Structure 1
Amino acid sequence: MTVLKPGITYVHEHIPIDRSEVIEDEDALLDSQQLVIQELKELYKKGVRNIVEATCRGIGRNIAYAQKVATETGINIVQATGWYQSAFLPIEVYQLSVTQLAEMMIKDITIGIKNTDIKAGVIGEIATTKNRWTEQEEKVFNAAVIASKETHTPIMTHTSIGTLGHEQVEFFQKKHANLSKIIIGHVDLTGNPNYVLEMLKTGINVEIDTIGKNNYMSDAKRVDIIKAAQDAGFTDQIVMSMDITRKSHLKANGGIGYAYLLDSFIPELKAGGVTEGFINKMLVENPQRIFGGDWND
């Protein structure tokens, strides 16, 4: 069974998230609930029915907060389990074994998160540091594979500024994970179509998920990567999102807002030669496949 409703899916977003203590920036505490609700109501009108919440343990996952947003907007919010990159890891990742970490994730998926009946529908965003894969991060990746195989739950990753994407793919290959149910995140930040195509050749999925963050990478580069994937025939393996993480990203605060993907980026894709069919796959069909029930393993 899929955890998604029919309709458009944003595959990598944050409803609340708190990275503020670690990076010493209050803007990185996204706690503007009413502003998020306002924006998501507009997304609902545009056909968005699902948001995969990438906020996991240690970075401000808040089930009650997110469920209020879901209730007031009508958008299905898919909760996550797992741990982020080393700078944000809580003490249990250092103290517990890989098996114990996997058991914690399995409990989130099969029983519920924090004594609620809300179950996690994705493992992620599990992360590597920029150009570096720490021992603790590898521990989380190992636990994630165990939990994914046990529960048939997709895995979603974070690559820091697009680095170590190939290494993440190689890790999952060595662990005989189901690549068709794994999404490598932030690959658009490589700015390199060929780098991304090499990943897609393995059968893994990728996210173009920092759309609108032109201070990191221009949207024109994102269009180039998507067009190259279309030309190479990899239209079944790409999903899209924006990775909203800051108060300043919200429209009311002068940011581009969650609707930028649909209102601004999709027209740019069409102008760049990306077909309506491929756009529909990225927004609707590919998320439904990844989060659906057919695992073939």
Structure 2
Amino acid sequence: MLQEGITYIHEHMTIDLSEVKESEDCKLDLLDETIEEMKELYALGVRNIIDMTNTGMGRNIPYVERIMQETGMTIVHATGYYQHMCLPIQVFEKSVSELAERMIREIQVGIKGTKSRAGVIGEIATSENVWTDAEKKVFDAAIIAHKETGTPISTHTSIGTLGHEQVSYFKEQKIDMEKVIIGHVDLTGDAEYVLHMLDQGVYVEFDTIGKESYMPDLTRIKMLHEIEKRGFTDKVCLSMDITRKSHLKKNGGLGYAYLLTDFVPQLREAGISESFIQKMLVHNPRAFFK
């Protein structure tokens, strides 16, 4: 499914959380600017974007297909539902099996009447230090869809919380841990917390690179250094999770390329091995989606 090359494991080509967050900045709908940045990424060796925008987050399939056509990038669509504050009414009205059937249809047939199919179940979410009943309903539906289709599952942890609980739940449900990736673990700031998850066999995402208002990149680098030192290099992936107009270069943000133009050089300067860097950018995402 993925092309040879670098993969950004957790991004958004377009997303609309403007109503929930009461900010127009949270409506990422700058098509031309996004295409321009994707062309820059392509020139830097990126070939795959895993787009985590799902139902209720402003998912727009024709928009994303246009980006693919204009850039040559492979963009993987997601099926599923996000955290409680963004859940559409159907999550509360439909049964777990009905939600699972919708996910399965989007994986096997197509999304919203198109022929574009989902290649990942995500980003299914827990809230900060709280796992609501509705969110558990989504997890249960995702597990059914995963068992039916074999499609990998990607999660959202709010500020890195409840990652251990998510892993434990998947283990209880007898999910293949190599088909699960836990998101936003860099926001824990705690290498030991992440190492515990890696020891359980799941993949993890350091996917908020550059968001220093949440966590300094230096902390992320120190965490990755410890992870490499302990030998857990095979299941870590990188991304930036761009979600706002202000994140794009044209609006003064870091832009999608920051991960490669700035953060990766910092990793090298800090003594992170080239082998680990290439695993995080190229080999680990391909192994997850094999």
TM-score (norm 1): 0.97
Partner of 1:225: 223
Deviations 1:193-221 (A, max 9, x none): 11111111100110000000001000011
Deviations 1:54-106 (A, max 9, x none): 00000100000000011101111100000000101011100111111111000
SS at structure 1 position matched to 2:143:
helix
Is structure 2 residue 75 aligned with structure 1 residue 77? yes
Shift of 1:39: 0.5
Partner of 1:182: 180
Is structure 2 residue 148 aligned with structure 1 residue 127? no
Q: Which amino acid aligns with 2:148?
A: E
Shift of 1:273: 1.3
SS at structure 1 position matched to 2:67:
helix
Deviations 1:156-191 (A, max 9, x none): 000000011111111111111111111100000000
Q: Distance in 1 between matches of 2:148 and 2:70?
A: 33
Q: Distance in 2 between matches of 1:15 and 1:194?
A: 32
Q: Distance in 2 between matches of 1:244 and 1:59?
A: 13
Q: Distance in 2 between matches of 1:205 and 1:225?
A: 15
Partner of 1:195: 193
Deviations 1:105-153 (A, max 9, x none): 0000000111111110000000000110000000000110111111110
| Segments ≥4 residues shifted beyond 3 Å | none
Partner of 1:165: 163
Shift of 1:272: 1.3
Partner of 1:38: 36
Q: Within 5 Å, give how 1:1-297 maps onto structure 2.
A: 3-292=1-290
Deviations 1:224-262 (A, max 9, x none): 111111111111110000000000000010000000000
SS at structure 1 position matched to 2:34:
helix
Q: Which amino acid aligns with 1:57?
A: T
Q: Distance in 2 between matches of 1:272 and 1:82?
A: 37
Q: Distance in 1 between matches of 2:83 and 2:102?
A: 17
SS at structure 1 position matched to 2:223:
helix
Unaligned residue ranges in structure 1 (runs of 5+):
293-297
Name the % identity: 58
Q: Which amino acid aligns with 2:279?
A: K
Aligned residue pair count: 290
Q: Distance in 2 between matches of 1:231 and 1:200?
A: 13
Partner of 1:295: none
SS at structure 2 position matched to 1:229:
helix
Q: Distance in 1 between matches of 2:210 and 2:143?
A: 31
